Amino acid sequence: MKSQQALDKSSCEKAKEFVVHHGESEYELSRFLHFHPGGFNTLLRFEDRDIAGKMRTTQHSQAAHYLMEEYRRSVTNNASHDLEKLVDWSKPMLWQVGHLGKRYQEWVSSPVDRRLRLFQSNFVESISVTPWYIVPIFWIPILLTVLIQGYWDNYSYIKQDSLAFLWFMACFFLGVVLWSLMEYSIHRWVFHHHPPEDSFTLITLHFLLHGLHHKVPFDSQRLLFPPVPAALLGALAYSLIRMLTPLWMLHFMAAGIITGYITYDLIHFYLHYGSPKAHTYFYHMKRYHNQHHFAHHDSVSPCDEWSEGVACRVSWYMQFSGFDRLVCNNTFWLNEESNEKLPHSLFRLFSTT
């Protein structure tokens, strides 16, 4: 027999509409049910009910309220979406954002649930979007090629030294760690560096590199890095590592970096589009990642999502021990089912603002 949770999910997927109320406004949330950080069942009990009080008591962020406007049915009193009138969503976005100037940071931090077109050219646009399966299809053959090349380059050494395999494994895991440090550094000091308000070029570049992901966090085609620019950056990184490391380390370290990247990108996609079971490891990671998107835009966890998971687990242990009550928490969304608040005191310790 199917569990009640599975039945609830199945029945909701079949439903054409899922309506809630907020004051005098009506919202159709059938698309958002899949994305809600608290899980599918968190919203089910609120169908056709007023959620204003619950959103207020659970301290939903300003970004969360802004996102709600995407699902509003009535068109009256929609002044909060005036920001979207600053651009023309029917046209390619890349060359528009640079004109936003001092309004850019406010606009890009206000998420919407829409498809976004970047370029006028259909060809350039086609290589700027990335379905999730393209990442493993493109990068796994490269990963295997690098590993095989490393094996043959060091074949004689492997035959002579029984410990050689352990050294190469150490180089591989060093590459994984190096990827995490690279990702954190780029994310923290490049992606989340606010561009000058008077620089059309830097605003445009910021939006192209990362801003678009915060503006349209539910666009499945723009959650992963496109292979063409990724390959160019990868070739540059490979050349740099080749100059700095001994040849015997090169390929195994590069393989570790590629593995770290593939894992990171696929987990990142899952945290946006997946529906992990409540109270599991990825369930808590998904909620922490949503904190980054909707509540703490400038908080970036070192060692990417892995450290968010570590912070999450330790925070829960602290909460059960009672220590976490000493720290003031706030929350983006509440899990109504277990009445649990999302603790992120430890998240802040792992973050840089």
Does residue 203 fall inside a structural domain? yes
pLDDT tier, 80 (very low <50, low <70, confident <90, very high otherwise): low
Task: Say yes or no: 73 and 171 in one domain.
Answer: no
The pLDDT of residue 35 is above 80:
yes
In the chain, the number of structural domains is 2
pLDDT tier, 2 (very low <50, low <70, confident <90, very high otherwise): very low
Task: Say yes or no: 137 and 240 in one domain.
Answer: yes
25-to-68, 81, 197 alpha-carbon distances in Å: 11, 14, 35
Task: Say yes or no: 56 and 160 in one domain.
Answer: no
Does residue 185 fall inside a structural domain? yes
Task: Say yes or no: 150 and 260 in one domain.
Answer: yes
Q: Is 293 annotated as a binding residue?
A: yes
Q: What is the pLDDT of residue 79?
A: 55
Q: pTM here?
A: 0.77
Does residue 317 fall inside a structural domain? no
Task: Say yes or no: 171 and 73 in one domain.
Answer: no
The pLDDT of residue 96 is above 50:
yes
- On average, the pLDDT of the chain sits at 80
Task: Say yes or no: 181 and 292 in one domain.
Answer: yes
Distance between CA atoms of 262 and 135, rounded to whole angstroms? 7
Q: Is 34 annotated as a binding residue?
A: no
Q: Is 22 annotated as a binding residue?
A: no
Residue 66's domain comprises 16-80
pLDDT tier, 34 (very low <50, low <70, confident <90, very high otherwise): confident
Q: Is 296 annotated as a binding residue?
A: no
Task: Say yes or no: 69 and 151 in one domain.
Answer: no
Task: Say yes or no: 163 and 292 in one domain.
Answer: yes
The answer to whether residues 126 and 227 touch, using CB atoms and an 8 Å cutoff, is: no
Q: Is 206 annotated as a binding residue?
A: no
Distance between CA atoms of 84 and 40, rounded to whole angstroms? 28
Does residue 202 fall inside a structural domain? yes
Distance between CA atoms of 17 and 15, rounded to whole angstroms? 6
Q: What is the pLDDT of residue 75?
A: 58
Select from 57, 80, 103 the last residue of a domain.
80
| Over residues 37-53, mean pLDDT | 84
Q: What is the pLDDT of residue 222?
A: 94
Task: Say yes or no: 48 and 156 in one domain.
Answer: no
Distance between CA atoms of 92 and 309, rounded to whole angstroms? 36
> Considering only 108-112, 147-151, 161-165, 254-258, which range has the smallest mean pLDDT?
161-165
Phi/psi of residue 340, each to 5°? Answer: -100, 140
Task: Say yes or no: 153 and 44 in one domain.
Answer: no
pLDDT tier, 212 (very low <50, low <70, confident <90, very high otherwise): very high
Q: Is 292 annotated as a binding residue?
A: yes
Q: What is the three-class DSSP state of 143? A: helix
Does residue 285 fall inside a structural domain? yes
Task: Say yes or no: 159 and 261 in one domain.
Answer: yes
> Considering only 215-219, 290-294, 325-329, which range has the smallest mean pLDDT?
325-329
Distance between CA atoms of 56 and 48, rounded to whole angstroms? 18
Q: Is 194 annotated as a binding residue?
A: no
Does residue 154 fall inside a structural domain? yes
Q: Is 60 annotated as a binding residue?
A: yes
pLDDT tier, 343 (very low <50, low <70, confident <90, very high otherwise): very low
Phi/psi of residue 19, each to 5°? Answer: -105, 135
> Considering only 196-205, 210-219, 231-240, 269-278, which range has the smallest mean pLDDT?
269-278
The pLDDT of residue 201 is above 60:
yes
The pLDDT of residue 144 is above 60:
yes
- pLDDT, tens digit, 9 for 90 and up, residues 309-327: 444 444 444 443 333 333 3
- pLDDT, tens digit, 9 for 90 and up, residues 149-196: 999 998 888 888 888 889 999 999 999 999 999 998 888 888 888 999
Choose between 316 and 65: higher pLDDT: 65
Select from 272, 296, 320 the last residue of a domain.
296
331-to-209, 275, 290, 322 alpha-carbon distances in Å: 28, 20, 10, 18
The pLDDT of residue 351 is above 50:
no
Q: What is the pLDDT of residue 299?
A: 52
The answer to whether residues 212 and 93 touch, using CB atoms and an 8 Å cutoff, is: yes
Q: What is the pLDDT of residue 283?
A: 85
Q: Is 251 annotated as a binding residue?
A: no
Does residue 173 fall inside a structural domain? yes
pLDDT tier, 137 (very low <50, low <70, confident <90, very high otherwise): very high
Does residue 45 fall inside a structural domain? yes
- The tokens describing 154, both together, are 């060091």
The pLDDT of residue 234 is above 90:
yes
CATH of the domain at 58: 3.10.120.10
The answer to whether residues 303 and 184 touch, using CB atoms and an 8 Å cutoff, is: yes
Task: Say yes or no: 58 and 172 in one domain.
Answer: no
Select from 51, 80, 109 the last residue of a domain.
80
Choose between 288 and 5: higher pLDDT: 288
| Over residues 289-294, mean pLDDT | 78
